[in-house]
């Protein structure tokens, strides 16, 4: 059971019963370089996993932070389950299947976890509903004096997921977007009742204006409804369900893969997937050659003791990110420390895919389906790259498809 959160940078510990424990309490504006991970006491589970339970937030609840938070504040298991069914009721275990087309192209069995059919068409909703479960538990138990607005900086799958999850609870949401965001996409967010704020670059101010506006909103009391671990560690809670599902689906299928490939932007997906999956399958994190700050940082970190204490020197922003996979063009990999820990635990690695392979992966996946964005098929580009490098044997591999084509 989850007992709390611990900062992997400064060691600060937070009891699981504390409400709204989004970030390390030592983090400040001038030193934001802290990140929390959930701490589990490894006690034997008391609630058997019910393979017939379709909702992962119910099936895996005993491993989850939101459930431990509820129970430690006196909520019964029955009430917690009822709350999950109401708040995360649309969530179901997503398909995991042998992908014949990609297998043929890559010359070995490729199993695909298909997040394109999940809530809002991508895995991002899993991150955000975990935060929402925490909020609704806190509200139900009288631990939240009022509903502060939710805030997110995104103009893609995360914004859409945030709008759907917030609307399902009628919780006000502010979305901070760049000025160039597609109007049609903005109207979709409006339709869900989100307030869309287009953020202009101010003269003489460096940094992403939408991210700066998000940080200002959080400093003024908004809830960081973020899909980045350092901005809100609770996004990792729901994200872990993907890893638990894949683990159980692999066991059922009797498959032992040689690697799992996952595309990386901000890094919360790879982090939470790895935390759920465990350490016995090598994690391969994939970035495009036009934006690979994680790969660069991992190379720098390899020669440094305690790299987490040298965050700003090791994780630096990528100049002029560019790729067809435009959802992973984060110029920094916010969750790089947790990823580097997961790579070490699983004997994993990082691969940078040439742009040609990003394009090929998108074509191959979409020839056979499911219809997937170039961002969401970019993990396959990493697998293509490693096939070309000759580093794989004939055993199966796993990829994660996310982001339904829009
Ligand atoms: C479809 C899809 N896959 C993968 C990612 C990467 O996730 P993360 O930013 O957590 O690394 C994103 C992020 O936007 C995405 O939209
Ligand atoms: Zn800290």
- For the stretch 78-103, pLDDT in tens is 999 999 999 999 999 999 999 999 99
Determine phi and psi for 170, rounding to 5 degrees: 50, 40
Ligand 1 atom with the shortest distance to the CA of 269: 10
Reported as a pLDDT band with limits 50, 70 and 90, residue 390 is very high
| Rounded mean pLDDT, 274-296 | 98
DSSP state of 121: G
Reported as a pLDDT band with limits 50, 70 and 90, residue 184 is confident
Q: Name the CA dihedral angle for 45, 51, 56, 59, rounded to a multiple of 10 degrees.
A: -30
| Rounded mean pLDDT, 35-45 | 95
Query: What confidence score (pLDDT) does residue 282 get?
Result: 98
Asked whether the whole model's pTM tops 0.75, one would answer yes
Reported as a pLDDT band with limits 50, 70 and 90, residue 45 is very high
Ligand 1 center from residue 217 Cα (angstroms): 23
Closest-lying ligand to the alpha carbon of 11?
2
pLDDT at 348 > cutoff 90: yes
Query: What confidence score (pLDDT) does residue 181 get?
Result: 83
Closest-lying ligand to the alpha carbon of 152?
1
Ligand 1 atom with the shortest distance to the CA of 262: 4
All residues at 6 or more sequence positions from 390 whose CB lies less than 8 Å from its CB, including other chains: none
Best substitution site from 117, 122, 226 to test ligand 1's pocket, by max atoms within 8 Å of Cβ? 122
> What is the residue with the minimal CA distance to atom 3 of ligand 1?
376
Query: What confidence score (pLDDT) does residue 362 get?
Result: 98
CA distance 97 to 110: 8
**Ligand 1: does its nearest atom lie under 6 Å from the Cβ of 268?**
yes
CA distance readout (Å), 127 to 42, 124, 363:
23, 5, 28
Query: What confidence score (pLDDT) does residue 62 get?
Result: 98
Topology (CATH) of 96-122+237-401 = Rossmann fold (3.40.50)
3-state secondary structure of 286: strand
All residues at 6 or more sequence positions from 33 whose CB lies less than 8 Å from its CB, including other chains: 9, 27, 230, 308, 311, 312
The residues spanned by each domain of the chain are 96-122+237-401
Ligand 1 center from residue 328 Cα (angstroms): 6
């Amino acid at each position: 059971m989850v007992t709390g959160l611990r900062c992997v940078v400064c060691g600060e510990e937070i009891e699981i019963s504390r409400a709204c424990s989004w970030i390390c309490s030592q983090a400040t504006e001038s030193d934001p370089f802290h990140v929390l991970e959930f701490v589990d006491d490894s006690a034997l589970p008391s609630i058997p996993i019910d393979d017939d339970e379709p909702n992962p937030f119910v099936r895996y609840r005993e491993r989850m932070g939101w459930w431990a938070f509820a129970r430690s504040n006196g909520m019964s298991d029955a009430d917690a389950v009822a709350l999950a069914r109401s708040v995360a009721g649309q969530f179901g275990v997503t398909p995991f299947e042998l992908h014949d087309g990609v297998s043929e192209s890559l010359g070995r069995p490729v199993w695909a976890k298909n997040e394109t059919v999940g809530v809002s068409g991508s895995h991002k909703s899993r991150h955000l509903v975990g935060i929402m479960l925490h909020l609704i538990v806190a509200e139900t138990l009288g631990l939240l004096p009022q509903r502060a607005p939710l805030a997110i900086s995104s103009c893609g799958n995360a914004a859409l997921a945030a709008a759907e999850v917030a609307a399902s609870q009628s919780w006000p949401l502010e979305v901070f977007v760049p000025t160039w965001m597609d109007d049609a996409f903005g109207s979709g967010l409006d339709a869900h009742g989100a307030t869309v704020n287009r953020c202009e670059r101010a003269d003489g101010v460096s940094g992403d204006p939408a991210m700066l506006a998000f940080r200002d909103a959080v400093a003024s009391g908004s809830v960081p409804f973020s899909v980045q671990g350092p901005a809100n560690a609770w996004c990792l809670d729901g994200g872990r369900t993907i890893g638990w599902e894949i683990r159980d689906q692999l066991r059922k299928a009797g498959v032992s893969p040689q690697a799992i490939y996952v595309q990386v932007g901000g890094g919360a997906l790879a982090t939470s997937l790895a935390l759920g999956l465990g350490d016995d399958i090598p994690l391969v994190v994939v970035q495009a050659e036009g934006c690979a700050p994680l790969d660069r940082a991992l190379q720098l970190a390899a020669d440094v003791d305690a790299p987490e204490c040298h965050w700003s020197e090791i994780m630096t922003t990528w100049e002029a990110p560019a790729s067809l996979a435009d959802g992973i063009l984060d110029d920094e990999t916010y969750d790089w420390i947790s990823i580097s820990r997961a790579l070490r635990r699983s004997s994993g690695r990082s691969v940078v895919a040439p742009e040609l392979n990003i394009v090929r992966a998108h074509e191959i996946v979409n020839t056979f389906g499911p219809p997937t964005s170039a961002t969401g098929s970019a993990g396959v580009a990493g697998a293509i790259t490693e096939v070309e490098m000759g580093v794989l044997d004939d055993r199966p591999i796993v990829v994660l498809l996310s982001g339904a084509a829009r």
